Amino acid sequence: MKKIRSFALGILGAAAGLLLYCGSFYVRSYLENQQTQQAYEQIREACVSPEYAEDKAEADKEESNKEKSEKEKSGEQPKKAAPSKKAKKTEKEKEIEESFGIRWKELREINSQVVGWIEVPGADISYPAVQGNDDDYYLHHSITGEEDAFGTIFLGCVNNKDFSDSHSFLYGHNMEGNLMFANLNRYAEPEYLAQHPEFYIYTPERKLQYRIFSIERAGARSPGFVYGNALGSEEYKEQLAIIQELSLYDTGTETDADKSIVTLVTCTSRLEEDVRMLVHGICTESVDWTEQEESQKAE
The pLDDT value recorded for residue 237 is 98
pLDDT of residue 30 exceeding 80, the answer is: no
Per-residue burial over 119-137, b if 16 or more Cβ lie within 10 Å, else e, is bbbebebbbbbbbbeebeb
Q: Please tell me which residue, 290 or 28, carries the higher pLDDT value.
A: 290
Q: Band the pLDDT of 81: cuts 50, 70, 90.
A: very low
Q: At 249, is the pLDDT very low, low, confident or very high (cuts 50, 70, 90)?
A: very high
DSSP letter for each residue of 187-251 = GGSHHHHHH--EEEEE-SSEEEEEEEEEEEEE-TT-GGG---PPTT-HHHHHHHHHHHHTSSS--
Q: Looking at residues 61-74, what average pLDDT do you find?
A: 51
Average pLDDT, the chain: 81
| DSSP-derived secondary structure for 266-281 | EE-TT--TT-EEEEEE
167-171 vs 261-267, strand pairing mode = parallel
| Among 66-80, 116-130, 167-181, 242-256, the least confident range | 66-80
What local confidence, expressed as pLDDT, does residue 9 receive?
41
Q: Higher model confidence: residue 107 or residue 84?
A: 107
Higher-pLDDT residue of 39 and 101 is 101
Q: What does DSSP assign to residue 123?
A: T
pLDDT of residue 69: 54
Beta 114-120 vs 154-155: how paired, if at all? unpaired
- Percentage, residues of the chain above pLDDT 90: 59
| Cα pseudo-dihedral 70, 74, 77, 78, rounded to 10 | -10
Predicted confidence band of residue 51 (pLDDT cuts 50, 70, 90): low
Residues 6+ apart with CB under 8 A from 121: 54, 57, 58, 61, 196, 198, 199, 200
pTM of the model: 0.77
- H/E stretch holding 284: strand 276-288
pLDDT, position 28 = 45
Q: Give the Cα separation of 87 and 288 in Å (integer).
A: 13
Say which amino acid occupies 19: L
CA distance 251 to 120: 17
> Is the confidence at residue 182, as pLDDT, over 70?
yes
DSSP-assigned letter for residue 9? H
- Give the Cα separation of 194 and 212 in Å (integer): 10
Rounded average pLDDT over 247-266: 97
Question: Which ranges of 48-83 does DSSP label H, i.e. alpha helix?
Answer: 54-74
* Burial (CB count <10 Å: 0-12, 13-18, 19+), residue 165: buried
The pLDDT of residue 75:
56
Q: Give the pLDDT of residue 292.
A: 67
| Residue, of 252 and 38, whose pLDDT is higher | 252
Count the Cβ atoms, other than its own, within 10 Å of residue 262: 22
Instruction: State how far the Cα of 187 lies from the Cα of 216, in Å rounded to an integer.
Output: 9
